[in-house]
Amino acid sequence: MASLYDRPDLYDLPDNEGKDRATKTHWEKVFSGKNIESVLDVSIGTGGLTLPMTELGIRLSGSDLSESMLARCREKAKEKGLHIDLRQSDFRYVSKAFSETFDCVMSTGNSLAYVNNEDVRRTLHEMDALVKRGGYLYLDTRNWDKILRERQRFFLYNPIFKDDLRVNLVQVWDYLDDASMIFNILYTFEKDGKIIGREDFTEHYHPVTLSFIKGVLREMNYASPEIMPLPAQAGAFDEEKTHWYCLIAKKGE
């Protein structure tokens, strides 16, 4: 079955000016008090989560495994009059794709969970290799601890209205014996009260816990991370209730 990440047209359906403004505010809060001028996002996708930070004067670079997503990111950057250094790369080997170092290296879009935990460890070390001394490592993720504790199966999203269409999205989560998960993703397209089309996808995830991430950061000599909900302006992080969170940690000098 096809991957959603080969369909940037569907992936970007929730994007709008309001979301971009909220994302910019998120980065203002995350970067507050930190000397960050250059950023590399190793899972940049279509750029929806990181292009808005360029309005803060950030020099943004990015990589992604999906050429389809990168192509859409290039289009969006061009529409904004931006030149973004974009390269196709598996984030498990990203240090081979870039020779410079950055003030902050990040993985956005809950992307780390696409690989198993040992590959997450490898990826974080690869990201660290591109972080300047005294720089920062950032990631965002679903709250997998909460998911594994509650074992929710059905996840519903608010409908999206696009032109004369109503787009409905539902996910059904399967918990596998090997501790990984399958997300069954169904889009239905509704017009005049009738379903006129559907698209379905499956994505395979490997839950990664907060304690695991903190442990790898300690291995790499990072300070204790600052943990916030996603978006950061949503209040305080609550390990029991927050659905998505982000963290940023400072590398040793």
175 forms beta bridges with 181
pLDDT of residue 6: 86
Spatial distance between the Cα atoms of 147 and 161, rounded to a whole number of angstroms: 28
Q: Where in the chain is the domain with CATH 2.20.25?
A: 146-205
Residue 18 CB partners (closer than 8 Å, separation 6+): none
Averaged over 11-20, what is the pLDDT? 92
Instruction: Tell me which residue has tokens 């379905």.
Output: 200
Q: Does domain 146-205 have CATH number 1.10.3470?
A: no
Q: Where in the chain is the domain with CATH 3.40.50.150?
A: 4-142+208-250
- Give tens-digit pLDDT for 226-235: 999 999 999 9
Task: Supply the pTM of this predicted model.
Answer: 0.96
Averaged over 202-207, what is the pLDDT? 98
161 forms beta bridges with 166
- Coil/strand/helix, residue 188: strand
Spatial distance between the Cα atoms of 57 and 38, rounded to a whole number of angstroms: 9
Does residue 1 surpass a pLDDT of 70?
Answer: no
Does residue 25 surpass a pLDDT of 80?
Answer: yes
| Cβ(100)–Cβ(89) below 8 Å | no
Averaged over 191-196, what is the pLDDT? 95
Mean pLDDT of the chain: 97
Q: Tell me which of 3.40.50.150, 3.20.20.150, 3.40.309.10, 2.40.50.140 is the CATH number of domain 4-142+208-250.
A: 3.40.50.150
Q: Which pair of tokens denotes residue 151?
A: 């074992």
